[in-house]
Amino acid sequence: MIEKASPVERLHVSFLTSAPDLKRCPTGDQPEVAFAGRSNAGKSSVLNQITGSRRTAKVSKTPGRTQLLNFFEVANGGRLVDLPGYGYAKAGKAAQAAWQKSVNHYLSYRDCLAGIVLVMDIRHPNQEFDRELIEWGAASELPVHVLLNKADKLSNNAQRSAAFDLAKHYPDYPQLTIQGFSALRGTGKFELIERLLGWLHPQTPDAV
Ligand SMILES: Nc1nc2c(ncn2[C@@H]2O[C@H](COP(=O)(O)OP(=O)(O)OP(=O)(O)O)[C@@H](O)[C@H]2O)c(=O)[nH]1
Ligand SMILES: [Mg+2]
């Protein structure tokens, strides 16, 4: 009988580098998973939760904290990328446009991209940027895994309805998956880590 491996508790990662744009990204010689989403949705917090360290990525109460593409190396291969948030209204128009361009370029031309984790605030899901990214992922045949983050802000019932309502918008998106998550509490951590390992190490899904 094959024993079921115990779930992976945390991903071991180390910071590799930051890049302002696609040109200055490290050579894309390994599978990469990008964390995208609106500013303040909790991308950096999610990274910290799954790596078990508050210091992996910078978190801030002020939206727009992550302004560069930040690369992290995962033990046993693969990388995670913390992208700047979309839609940080207080940034000047020029700064916003520059970040969006760097993120759009990265998503469009980064050949080693294996999947995208799209982080949404569960209380405000499926905003314009989210819809665009989901459509783009489907058109590019790239898997998109949605995290309905900050689930701790809603009751269990409301969490389930949020996931159900979002799924209803995308009945014909075979590469779209959705889960609830709380970066604050760690809810949904195992499911996310399993998904990431499946993308980064497709041959050895249980390796860390
Ligand atoms: N209650 C709650 N707060 C959260 C959760 N995840 C993140 N936050 C808070 O949301 C705020 C933004 O978190 P970040 O992780 O910096 O968000 P981000 O998406 O990386 O933001 P940018 O870097 O601006 O794009 C911080 O105050 C976090 O503490 C969560 O699961 N629950
Ligand atoms: Mg951030």
Asked, for residue 29, whether it belongs to a domain, the answer is: yes
Q: How far is the centre of ligand 2, averaged over its atoms, from the C-alpha of 5 (Å)?
A: 32
Asked, for residue 163, whether it belongs to a domain, the answer is: yes
58 within ligand 1 shell (Cβ under 6 A): no
Asked, for residue 38, whether it belongs to a domain, the answer is: yes
Q: What HEC string does the chain produce? A: CCCCCCCCCCCCEEEEEEECCHHHCCCCCCCEEEEEEECCCCHHHHHHHHHCCCCCCCCCCCCCCCCCEEEEEECCCCEEEECCCECCCCCCHHHHHHHHHHHHHHHHHCCCEEEEEEEEECCCCCCHHHHHHHHHHHHHCCCEEEEEECHHHCCHHHHHHHHHHHHHHCCCCCCEEEEECCCCCCCCHHHHHHHHHHHHCCCCCCCC
Task: Kindly give the number of the ligand 1 atom that is closest to the alpha carbon of 60.
Answer: 16
83 within ligand 1 shell (Cβ under 6 A): no
Task: Kindly give the number of the ligand 1 atom that is closest to the alpha carbon of 151.
Answer: 31
79 within ligand 1 shell (Cβ under 6 A): no
Residue nearest to atom 8 of ligand 1 (CA): 42
Q: How far is the centre of ligand 1, averaged over its atoms, from the C-alpha of 167 (Å)?
A: 23
Q: How far is the centre of ligand 2, averaged over its atoms, from the C-alpha of 43 (Å)?
A: 5
pLDDT for the residue numbered 19: 93
Asked, for residue 84, whether it belongs to a domain, the answer is: yes
pLDDT for the residue numbered 58: 80
CA neighbours closer than 13 Å in the CB half-sphere of residue 140: 18
Count: domains in the chain: 1
Find the domain containing 179 and state its range. 13-200
93 with 99: CB under 8 angstroms?
A: no
pTM, entire model: 0.92
65 within ligand 1 shell (Cβ under 6 A): yes
Asked, for residue 181, whether it belongs to a domain, the answer is: yes
Asked, for residue 205, whether it belongs to a domain, the answer is: no
Asked, for residue 160, whether it belongs to a domain, the answer is: yes
Asked, for residue 35, whether it belongs to a domain, the answer is: yes
Which residue bears the tokens 């209803």?
A: 168
Q: Could you tell me the CATH number of the domain that includes residue 89? A: 3.40.50.300
**10-residue mean pLDDT series, the chain (208 residues):** 73 93 94 94 94 84 72 95 79 76 91 97 96 94 97 98 98 97 97 97 64
pLDDT for the residue numbered 49: 96
